[in-house]
Structure 1
Amino acid sequence: MARLNKSLQNHTSIALVYFVLAAGLGCVLRFFRVLEIPVTYKFIVHAHSHVALLGWVYLALTTLLYKLYLSRAEVEKKYRNIFWFTQLTIVGMLLTFPFQGYAIFSIIFSTLFLFASYWFTWFFFKNVPVEYNHKQSLKCAKLALMYLLLSSLGPWALGAIMNTLGAASIWYRLAIYFYLHFIYNGWMIMALVAVFLYILDKQNISLSEKAFKIFFWKINLGIILSFLLSTLFTQPAVFYYILGGVGAFLQLWAFYDLFKFMSVEWTSIKRKFSNFFRNVIKVIGVLWLIKMILQLLSSIPYFANLATTYLDFTVGYLHLTFLGVVTISLFLFLDYFKLIFINRKRFLIYVLGFILSELLIFFKAIVSWQSATLFSEYYFILAVTSLLVLVAVLGVLLSSFKLSRT
């Protein structure tokens, strides 16, 4: 078991390497407006997003799912095969997207990654020990993987749309938004909920079966219906706004149920978890609440049009989810299971960089909305805040290398 944990620590370190690379590419994008950088901006955007979502988050989540549910199933060799095949696809994307954008080789590696995700999902469902079948967390984990599969319909559809309707078609954007919605709100959020419920269950803190079923149906029906919010740029019938709003409201309601449960169990949580764990959970809760309130607001036609017209609102929302809710949760959970080591000062630097960049992104969106003028040093300051995130993540990576060697 100790050898396996070392192996998983190494895998997590590889995920962090991808995060460092994604953060570095993000800095290139930010400094693009400050310095003369001889790159194609659009190509770097593609590389940045793919390495962040598929290198950092996907690998971190699948490593956690393996550790939690499969580490005693004696399937380590099969898992290693899947892991290294996945690395081939991610490195392939890293070496092609920055230089050619969406072209033959980057598309090949992206497609191979889809097959890698199908392979892992099949492997997971086949090998989870029966002792976990009644666990609430496993139900969330399995559904998270189903959302991952569902999201892949978006990339598959893109090829057909490009060959028939073209990139200017609304169906092209809808396919991308379908993919992003079910990756962010389905796969990532449900997988994190699964890990959190697993941690609580190990401390004998769990929802009643009735309460879990209500929470489970609310959040998942909400995830499915709220996809309609991603279609509002087409200005559809009012019915779509209402259903999308119902989806956003159901997710907010599910969050309230979880919050109420945590409040009741807080005495036990205080006794069984460290101050750091409890404080970070509070931060994640606040960020998740903000995310869902913004999502609910986007069901109102005025705000939906605002997000469509001023894309910095959408960029800020996506970064809030990725750098805030998802990444901070991953840092906490990976640290809890001793797969990485989070130095508290470096964590604070990361949070500072994240908060400052979010404030600046939303500030630019508001300035554009109000037809005002940005201050002259805006892009330079935004680029510097990105460096804070890069430095913090690099620090986490170096600490994790030391952990894996001890």
Structure 2
Amino acid sequence: MMSKKLVLVCLFNFLVAAAMGLTMRFAFVSSIDFNYRNLTHAHSHVAMLGWVYLMLYVFIVHHFTSKKPKAFNRLFWITEVAVIGMMISFPLQGYALFSITFSTLHIFCSYYFAYLIFKHQNIASKPTRVLIKTAVVFMLISTLGVWCLGPAVGLLGQASAFYQIAIQFFLHFQFNGWFLIGLLGLFFHFFKIQDHKIFKPFYISLVISTVTTLALPVHWFAPSPILTWINGFGILSQILCFILFIKLTKTFIQKHLKSVSKEAKHLYHFALMSFAIKILFQSASLFPNIGEIVKQNHNFVIGFIHLTMLGVVSGFLFAYIIQSKISYRTSLFNYGVYSFILGFLGTEFVLFFQGLRFVFGIGLIPNYYLVLFILSSFLVIGISFIFIGISTSKTNYYDSKQTTKTP
């Protein structure tokens, strides 16, 4: 059975990251004294490395290693120390000695995690094994961007294209390589998707699209017609990948969703729909003018990041928590999920609608910042209910046939 304690640690990190985000929303409603940029760094690092990274860590170790040496458990807690260090140091000092130290510690922990996974993985399904290994490799590749930040600052400064491209390199391969492919590996595992002749072209198009769509953020800081063509090729590969994904998984999805709980079914629908919308929105960059509008519109950028982070990634992670036989108080967990989805849908609508208003020169929605703050509070409330629903359950094993719906 998967450790409830480790899941709660990850959810705690997510709750702190969400509370930081809500604080940043409140800064536009009422004047409060804090360094906005520093809190932004803390918010993003804790969400990515404390919630998504560690949750994937827990799932991969639990489901894909037959022998679990104590090193995995020790490494988890060392990694959490690094997350807490970033949680405290980034708001206080931004990028400085302590925050950089804890960030570096996290990177070295990820290297050791990759070593342990390749050494101890025991994955019978070929598609799942290939996807999980590929995700871990992309995680390692992404850190090259971090190691380039020091030389970029020393040689050209933080305003340089080199510095910005290094950041985009890290973020791109974290989100589109490590996070999304890792989630797909878990998806193939939970839905028992078998090897098929379609898998090879699906996998090839997946890797190609992951690598080539990096051209778009690079183009933002080092414009070149070649990069536009490379990104276009990547988008077409991504569309092909999604079509093959549907063909490969459709039968398994229909079969599996009949046997899961109502909560898991809703979350899978939510995550898959968010995934499809992400592909659709990303495909719009095929048209350079649209890509330029998106780049210059902060609402679209934040909306797209949250679509990926909250809709796709967190939607799947919540569903996988249910599938991993973690016990929870049903009503509290359900309130949390529906509150989270409400907050997500509400903030996404407001962000994208306001972005469109800016494009057409209309101006701000009345009480825009207050509305965004109120809707964002539903995300924090939702995560809190999910956390409480799991932490107050008396057992460490969830079986929908045996667990009664406790209030």
**TM-score using structure 2 length:** 0.92
1:114 equivalenced with 2:101 (yes/no): no
Which residue identity lines up with residue 384 of structure 2 in the other structure? L
Aligned pair partner of 1:14 in 9, 14, 23: 9
How does 1:197-346 map onto structure 2 within 5 Å? 197-201=188-192, 205-208=193-196, 210-234=197-221, 236-265=223-252, 267-339=254-326, 341=328, 343-346=333-336
Match of residue 97, structure 1, among 90, 99, 113: 90
Residue number in structure 2 paired with 1:126: 119
**Structure 1 contact 13–340 (Cα < 8 Å) conserved:** no
More helix by percentage: 1
Give 1:382's aligned residue.
Answer: 372
Match status 1:79 vs 2:72: yes
Quote how far apart the aligned CAs of 1:339 are: 3.2
Of the three residues 173, 184, 190, the one matched with 2:181 is 190
SS at match of 1:167: coil
Contact 2:25 2:369 in 1 (8 A): yes
Q: Deviations over 1:335-357 (max 9, x none)?
A: 11123646223211110100100
| Unaligned segments of structure 2, at least 5 residues | 397-407
Aligned 8 A contact 2:264 2:322 in 1? no
Q: Deviations over 1:122-157 (max 9, x none)?
A: 11111113xx26521111011101111111111110
| Contact 2:336–2:384 under 8 Å retained in 1 | no
Shift of 1:264: 3.5
Aligned partners of 1:270, 1:108: CA distance in 2, in Å? 44
Bigger Cα displacement from structure 2, 245-254 vs 160-169:
245-254
Q: 2:365 aligns to what SS in structure 1?
A: coil
Q: 1:404 to 1:127 in 2, by over 3 A?
A: farther
Q: Decide which of 356, 359, 363 is 2:353's aligned counterpart.
A: 363
CA 323–266 in structure 1, closer or farther in 2 if over 3 Å, else same: closer
Q: Are 1:66 and 2:61 an aligned pair?
A: yes
Q: Which amino acid aligns with 1:105?
A: F
Contact 1:10 1:404 in 2 (8 A): no
Specify the SS of the correspondent of 1:152.
helix
Residue identity over aligned pairs, in percent, reads 30
Q: Cα gap change, 1:81/1:268 in structure 2, threshold over 3 Å: closer, same or farther?
A: same
Equivalences, count:
393
Q: 1:200, 1:206 within 8 Å by CA — same for their partners in 2?
A: no
CA 1:127 to 1:152, structure 2 compared with 1: closer, same or farther past 3 Å? same
Deviation string 1:258-316 (CA, Å, 9 cap, x unpaired) is: 21233344553354334443343232222111111211212321012112211221111
Deviations 1:45-103 (CA, angstroms, capped at 9, x unpaired): 00000000000111111100001111x3141x111111111011111111100011011
